[in-house]
Structure 1
Amino acid sequence: MAGNSQRRGAMRKTNKKGMEKGSGGQRRRGLAGKGPTPKAEDRVYHAAYKRKKEQERRARGRHEKPDTGEMVVGRNPVIECLRAKVPATLLYVVEGTNADDRLAEAVQLAQHRGIPTQEVPKHELDRMTGNGMHQGIGLMIPPYEYADVEDLIDNVKSTGEAGLIVVLDNITDPRNLGAVIRSVAAFGGHGVVIPERRSASVTAVAWRTSAGTAARLPVARATNLTRTLQRFQKAGYQVVGLDAGGDHTLDTYDGTDPTVIVVGSEGKGISRLVGETCDTIMSIPMTGWVESLNASVAAGVVLSEFARQRRAEVSGK
C-alpha cells in the first residue's frame, strides 16, 4: 500500500494520536491566544509606526539641538561687541590676514579682557561661518543664560522694592530687545521677560544695542506668556498692556505699585489672549497725527514716567 512500503525512502503512516515525542508542546503553544492586536503605530511594518518615528525624530531636532553659541564676524561688529563687553570665549584671526587699526584694536581688546586669540586657516573660518565674508576675524559668543521667571519674582521680593518688569510680546527685532533692556536698566527696572518662541532672543545684536546692560539685567524666557502674567498677578503685580486704544492714559496711571508693563510690536500690538489677561490697557498720549511708537521707545516713555512717580513718592515720605 502506498505509504506503507518497505522500500527505502517510503513514509510510514500511523494512526497514533497526540503530540509527537520531543515536540516540546510547540503545537499546544501555537493554539494559545496572542493577546490584543497592537495599535497601528506600534506595529513596525505599519505606515503609522513610520509616521510616529518621523515625528519623534523631528521633535528631537527642534527641541534637543544644542545651542553652541553665535559667531560674530567682520572687523567693525567684532570691535563693537568687544567694546560693549559682550561675553566671548574666543577670538579667531585668519592666518596671514593683513593687519590694520581695527584688527589690532580687536586683538588688544580681547587680550585686555582675557579672551584668548587663535589663528586659523582661512578655509577653517569659512567653514565655521558658512561664508567668506568674515574679513579674517570672528568672535565666538556663548549662549545667553536666561533667568527663570520664579527666580526673578523671588529676587525682586528679596530687595523689598516695588517690582518693575517689562514683558515683550511679538517683538522679533533683537535691536528692539536690546533697547528695551537698556531702558529697563536705566530707569530702575528689575528684568525683562520674553516668549520662548516667535521672539527675538539675546543675540550679539541685542547685546550691542543694550550697551552691555544685558550683562547685569536678568532676562527670563516664558513658555506661555498668559500663564506667566497670571503668575505675576498672583505675586501682587498689576499687569498693564500698552495699546493706542487703552481705557487709561499714562498721565493718570499710578505706577508706584509692583507693575508688569506688556509691550507689543508696532505692527501687531499685543496678542489677544495676552491683552485679555492684562488688568489694564493703557495708552500713551501723543500728537494726533502720529499713529504709534516703536516698541522700545514706548517702553522707555512708560518706564521713565513710572520711575519719576517712584522718585516723587520716596521724596514725599
Structure 2
Amino acid sequence: MNDRDRKPRFARGGGKGRDRGPPRRGRESGDGPAILYGWHSVTAALANPERKIRKLWLTENAARRLADDKIDTRIEPTIVPPREIDDRLGPDAVHQGLLAEADPLESPDLDSLTQDGIVLVLDQITDPHNVGAILRSAAAFNVKAIVTTARHSPEATGVLAKSASGALELVPIITVTNLARALDELNDLGFLTVGLDSEGSETLAAVPLRQPLALVLGAEGSGLRRLTRDTCSVVARLDMPGAIKSLNVSNAAVLALYIGASQLGLMR
C-alpha cells in the first residue's frame, strides 16, 4: 500500500481513540445535523447555550486562538490538519480551521412573537448566500425573527451559516409549511404585513408603518408570488434614483429595514 492508498486518521484531542473525521459534503438535509464552519459561525454557536454541539474539528492554530481568546469549546475537539477540513467542505470554503457538527436550532411558533419591532418574511428565496446576508442584516437591525418556508428555502447550515457570520445564533428562524397561511396568522396577530414588489402602488417610505411590522421579500427575478402579494396588507416598492432600478434581494432587505426602523423610531 502506498501513501495515496492510505486513508487519513484523525486523532481526538487528549488521545482518546479514533474519530471518523469531519462530515463530508451533502450531509445538509433537514433531518441531519447543522454543519458550521468559519470563525464567526462556530464561535457564535459555541457561545449559544441553545445550540448543542455534537462534534468539533479544529486545526492547531484555531485551537490555540480559541484558547488565547478564552473561548470554551464545550466539548473535547478533534485536532486535524487544515487539508482534512478542506477535503470535507470543498476548496472554496473559507473555514479558518474550524468545523462543527451541531443539532439544528428549534423553530419557534408565530404566536410566540412579541407585539413590537420588525419581522422579515422570505418568499422562496433559495440562495444560501442571500439568506445568510439577510440574516446578518437582520441581526444588525434587531429583527425579532425571520419567517421562511420548509420547502424552497436553504437549510440553516453550511454556506448560509458562514454567510450569516454568526447571526444564525442571534435571529430565530420560524419555518412554516404554507406562507400565505402564515401571513394570515401574522395579520390576525396584529402585524402590518408589507410586501415589497416593483409593482407596488406606493414607495415603502410613503407607507405609514407601525409596529409590529412584517416586511415580506420575494426571490430575485420572480419576486413575490401572487398569493403572497394578495395576503399582504400593503404592497410597496423600493424606488431607486439611479439607472439601475432593482437591487439584489439582500441589499433590498437592508434598505427596507433601514426605512422601516427609521420610521418606527428604532434607530435611536
Structure in which a larger fraction of residues adopt strand: 2
1:1-317 matches, within 5 Å, as: 67-71=31-35, 77-85=37-45, 88-92=53-57, 101-102=61-62, 104-105=64-65, 112-118=72-78, 129=88, 139-150=99-110, 153-157=111-115, 161=116, 163-311=117-265
Letter in 2 for 1:79: W
Q: CA 1:82/1:109 → structure 2, altered by over 3 Å: closer, same or farther?
A: farther
Instruction: Answer yes or no: is the 8 Å Cα contact 2:62–2:98 preserved in 1.
Output: no
Segments of 5+ residues of structure 2 without an aligned counterpart are: 1-28
Instruction: Answer yes or no: is the 8 Å Cα contact 1:174–1:205 preserved in 2.
Output: yes
CA RMSD after TM alignment: 3.6
Question: Alpha-carbon deviation of 1:271?
Answer: 1.3
SS of equivalent residue, structure 1 residue 197: coil
SS of equivalent residue, structure 1 residue 245: coil
SS of equivalent residue, structure 1 residue 311: coil
Q: CA 1:149/1:102 → structure 2, altered by over 3 Å: closer, same or farther?
A: closer
Q: CA 1:200/1:110 → structure 2, altered by over 3 Å: closer, same or farther?
A: farther
Structure in which a larger fraction of residues adopt helix: 1
- Higher RCO by CA contacts (8 Å cutoff, separation 6 or greater): 2
Letter in 2 for 1:304: Y
SS of equivalent residue, structure 2 residue 114: helix
% identity of equivalent residues:
28
Letter in 2 for 1:118: T
Q: Which residue is 1:41 aligned to? A: none
Q: CA 1:224/1:103 → structure 2, altered by over 3 Å: closer, same or farther?
A: same
**Greater Rg over alpha carbons, structure:** 1
Question: Alpha-carbon deviation of 1:171?
Answer: 0.9
Question: Alpha-carbon deviation of 1:120?
Answer: 7.7
Q: How many aligned positions are there?
A: 232
Letter in 1 for 2:55: L
Q: Which residue is 2:7 aligned to? A: none
Instruction: Answer yes or no: is the 8 Å Cα contact 1:71–1:138 preserved in 2.
Output: no
Deviation digits for residues 166-222 of structure 1 (CA, Å, limit 9, x no counterpart)? 100121122222222222232232111010001123114333333323223211001
Q: CA 1:243/1:132 → structure 2, altered by over 3 Å: closer, same or farther?
A: closer
* Matches of 2:62 and 2:122, distance apart in 1: 36
Q: CA 1:109/1:133 → structure 2, altered by over 3 Å: closer, same or farther?
A: farther
- Please give the TM-score of this superposition, normalised by the length of structure 1: 0.61
Letter in 2 for 1:298: A
Instruction: Answer yes or no: is the 8 Å Cα contact 1:107–1:117 preserved in 2.
Output: no
SS of equivalent residue, structure 1 residue 260: strand
Deviation digits for residues 36-86 of structure 1 (CA, Å, limit 9, x no counterpart)? xxxxxxxxxxxxxxxxxxxxxxxxxxxxx87231445xxxx4435334446
- Please give the TM-score of this superposition, normalised by the length of structure 2: 0.71
